[in-house]
Structure 1
Amino acid sequence: MSPAEPLHLVLPGYQNSGPAHWQSRWEAADPGLVRVEQADWDAPRRTDWVAALDAAVAAADRPVVLVAHSLGCITVAHWAAGRTGPGPVVGALLVAPADVDTAEVPELVDFRPVPLRPLPFPTTVVASTDDPWCTAERAAAFADAWGAALVDVGPLGHINSDSGLGDWPQGRRLLADLTGSARP
């Protein structure tokens, strides 16, 4: 990998991404993708998750692309809201953002409210029409507030392992379109 290629930081959501999840499959296929590990996947704390992302970005020795799913997307929004610029982040693929403002899951309340400020880097929000964690309308509102492109992938649920996506080639193309990179 050349130093000019971006580092892809993978940000799973609540309870992490298991081995059948597209994020995990991408990581298995490309050891250059780095998962941002959280201290507690089952009882997330916003300050801890944002700090883990901040540390991973600060440790990067090249440009960074964020590849987030669900609560990972909301973590990116909180992280960016506390910054004055993009730093080394050159793009973000935010897949199936979780609407924690309406989710009746006590473990997610600490992430309320979802920041609705423009993100300081090119961003694509990928949403499903039948996501149980976020309506299509709310995903569109997130994309609009974040200044992101919105991609509607149709009825794919929460765009996770339950969606049966395998390696999710469509997601790989969306990431390549966002960053101009052939990875992952």
Structure 2
Amino acid sequence: MSPDHVLILPGWQGSGAGHWQTLWEAAHGYWRVEQHDWMHPLRGDWSARLDEVVVDADGPVVLVAHSLGCILTAWWAAHSQHTHQVRGALLVAPGDVEQPDVAAQLPGWAPIARQLLPFPAVLVGSRNDPYCRFERAQALAQAWGARFVDLGERGHLNAESGLGAWPEGLSLLHALMKD
């Protein structure tokens, strides 16, 4: 699978310079799905944009989602007619948009779609993620039919988590791409 078939789906506010998603883009040529507004995300707009990119791809894609990007992936998969073009998804640190403090900042993103994903998925969670309790991440993995990977106490699995280029995550992605 060529690098342009790996689609990076950042969460709310995008992924900054030190984020593993940004580092993967630079090192491997993966393609970021740009959104119109990273600061005030609208679920319908983000979902339509993802659908557009998947349809325009000249082959199957693999999704690499972080935080709100995970919630987007599940919502998109529940509503799109193009899920057959997805070979798999790496879902990292889903943001719990049903948590009252998060829901207040991201109106319109709840409820979280909780159906089995129509493609293989791996969900990576952290035991001390401030945006999603560990048990909640496990429950989402189960609802989505995703294999769950416990990364221990690593926060929100973003730049502040000190993951750098996150070789362990890249290994998970490569394994998913081989399936």
TM range (shorter): over 0.9
CA distance in 1, matches of 2:168, 2:175: 10
Name the Cα RMSD after superposition: 1.4
The Cα of 1:5 is off from its aligned counterpart by 3.7
SS in 2 for 1:42: coil
Q: Mapping of 1:53-92 within 5 angstroms? A: 53-83=50-80, 86-92=83-89
Give the equivalent residue in structure 1 for 2:138: 140
The Cα of 1:179 is off from its aligned counterpart by 1.4
Aligned partner letter, 1:125? L
Give the equivalent residue in structure 1 for 2:115: 117
The Cα of 1:62 is off from its aligned counterpart by 1.1
CA distance in 2, matches of 1:108, 1:132: 15
Give the equivalent residue in structure 2 for 1:178: 176
Return closer, same or farther for 1:135/1:153 CA change in 2, 3 Å cut-off. Answer: same
CA distance in 1, matches of 2:138, 2:31: 28
CA distance in 1, matches of 2:39, 2:15: 12
CA distance in 2, matches of 1:55, 1:10: 14
Aligned residues with identical type, % of pairs: 53
The Cα of 1:78 is off from its aligned counterpart by 0.5
TM-score, length of structure 2 as denominator length: 0.95
TM-score, length of structure 1 as denominator length: 0.92
Give the equivalent residue in structure 2 for 1:98: 95
* Aligned residue pair count: 177
Among residues 20, 39, 49, which one is paired with 2:36 in the alignment?
A: 39
Task: Give the helix-richer structure, 1 or 2.
Answer: 2
* Farther off after superposition, 81-90 or 118-127: 81-90
CA distance in 2, matches of 1:100, 1:63: 29
CA distance in 1, matches of 2:16, 2:36: 16
CA distance in 2, matches of 1:90, 1:116: 19
The Cα of 1:109 is off from its aligned counterpart by 2.4
Return closer, same or farther for 1:44/1:168 CA change in 2, 3 Å cut-off. Answer: same
The Cα of 1:84 is off from its aligned counterpart by 5.1
The Cα of 1:103 is off from its aligned counterpart by 4.4
Give the equivalent residue in structure 1 for 2:128: 130
Q: Which runs of 5+ in 2 are unaligned?
A: none
Give the equivalent residue in structure 1 for 2:148: 150
CA distance in 1, matches of 2:23, 2:42: 26
The Cα of 1:180 is off from its aligned counterpart by 1.5
